[in-house]
C-alpha cells in the first residue's frame, strides 16, 4: 500500500516531505529545513514521527532537526559518506541500501553532484523519489562539490526510474528554472505548455513540486543534454552529453 505523501513548505523556498504509512502509523520526514511548519503539520494530522531521512548536509536541509527530535525521538538516517558533517545519524546508508518505512521498501541512491555524498530515497511502491537538490522541477542543483560528469550520472540514474515516479525535490525554483529552460530549448512545445502552467500555479500561490518524472524527461533541459534539438540549438550537435550538460549548467549559473 502506498505511503501518503505530504509536501511541507519551509523557510522562503524549501520543501520538506512527510511520508506516512496508515497501517503501521510510521511516518518519515525527508529533510528538516525548519521545525515550525513540520511540527505543525505532524500535530494537525496526529502523526508520530518515526524516521528522518536526510539528503545532504546543507543547513537549509538539516537546521530544523534538533527541535523536531526534542518532540519526536525519530531514527535519523543519512549518508555514511557524509556522517562527519551531518547531524548525528542512527543509521548510515549508501547507494543500493534498502530499509523499510512501515511495510514499504526505501532504496538509497547516490546522487552526488550538488554535494558529494548527496543521496536520494526511492520508494518504488509509492512511485516517489525524494531528490532534494539533485534533480529538481525543471532544474538541478548547482555543482558546489561534484563535477558535471558526476551530476550527469546521478541525473541519468534518476531518469531511468519509471515514468510515473513523483519527483519530490527540495526547492520552489521552478518558475525561474522555466525561464532559463526556454533559452536552451525554445521550440519544445511540452516545455512552453509547462511554463504557462507554472506561471498560473505560482500566480495562484500553489507549489509546483512534486512533479512527474515523465514531464521532467520531456521538459527539464538538464535531463535532455542528449537531445538532438537542444544540442543543435547550442551548436553542439553529436557532442558527449556530459559536455552538453556542463554547457547548460554553466549557462544557468550565469543566467
Ligand atoms: Zn543544498
Ligand atoms: Fe537546498
In 93-240, alpha helices (H): 148-159, 174-184, 189-203, 213-219, 228-233
pLDDT of residue 123: 98
Give the cell for residue 89. 545519524
Burial class of residue 162, CB neighbours in 10 A (0-12, 13-18, 19+): exposed
What is the Å distance from ligand 2's center to 180 Cα?
19
Q: What is the mean pLDDT of the chain?
A: 97
For residue 114, the ligand closest to its alpha carbon is 1
At 3 the pLDDT is 96
User: Where do we find the cell 526511492?
Assistant: 122
- Give the pLDDT confidence of 212-249 residue by residue, as tens digits: 999 999 999 999 999 999 999 999 999 999 999 999 99
Whether the predicted pLDDT of 71 surpasses 90? yes
Q: Give me the pLDDT at residue 1, please.
A: 80
Active-site annotation, residues = 56, 58, 60-61, 114, 133, 171
Q: How far is the CA of 136 from the centre of ligand 2 (A)?
A: 10
CA of 15 to the centre of ligand 1 (A): 12
Considering only CA atoms, which of 161, 221, 147 is closest in space to residue 191? Answer: 221
Residues with CB under 5 A from ligand 2 (ion): 60, 133, 170
pLDDT in tens, 108-131: 999 999 999 999 999 999 999 999
pTM above 0.75, yes or no: yes
- Percent of the chain, pLDDT > 70? 100
Amino acid at each position: 500500500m502506498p505511503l501518503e505523501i505530504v509536501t511541507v513548505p519551509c523557510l522562503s523556498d524549501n520543501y520538506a516531505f512527510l511520508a506516512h504509512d496508515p497501517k503501521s502509523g510510521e511516518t518519515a520526514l525527508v529533510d528538516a529545513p525548519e521545525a515550525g511548519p513540520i511540527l505543525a503539520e505532524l500535530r494537525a494530522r496526529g502523526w508520530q514521527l518515526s524516521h528522518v531521512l536526510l539528503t545532504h548536509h546543507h543547513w537549509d536541509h538539516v537546521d530544523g532537526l534538533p527541535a523536531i527530535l526534542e518532540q519526536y525521538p525519530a531514527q535519523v538516517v543519512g549518508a555514511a559518506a557524509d556522517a562527519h558533517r551531518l547531524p548525528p545519524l542512527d543509521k548510515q546508508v549508501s547507494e543500493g541500501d534498502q530499509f523499510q518505512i512501515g511495510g514499504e521498501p526505501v532504496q538509497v541512491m547516490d546522487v552526488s553532484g550538488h554535494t558529494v555524498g548527496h543521496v536520494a530515497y526511492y520508494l518504488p511502491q509509492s512511485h516517489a523519489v525524494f531528490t532534494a537538490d539533485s534533480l529538481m522541477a525543471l532544474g538541478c542543483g548547482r555543482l558546489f562539490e561534484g563535477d558535471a560528469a558526476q551530476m550527469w550520472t546521478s541525473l541519468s540514474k534518476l531518469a531511468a526510474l519509471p515514468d510515473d515516479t513523483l519527483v519530490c525535490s527540495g526547492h520552489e525554483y521552478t518558475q525561474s528554472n522555466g525561464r532559463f529552460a526556454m533559452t536552451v530549448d525554445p521550440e519544445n512545445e511540452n516545455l512552453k505548455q509547462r511554463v504557462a502552467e507554472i506561471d498560473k500555479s505560482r500566480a495562484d500561490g500553489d507549489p509546483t513540486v512534486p512533479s512527474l518524472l515523465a514531464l521532467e524527461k520531456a521538459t527539464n533541459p538538464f535531463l535532455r543534454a542528449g537531445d538532438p534539438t537542444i544540442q543543435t540549438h547550442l551548436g553542439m550537435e553529436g557532442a558527449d552529453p556530459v559536455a552538453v550538460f556542463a554547457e547548460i549548467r554553466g549557462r544557468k549559473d550565469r543566467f
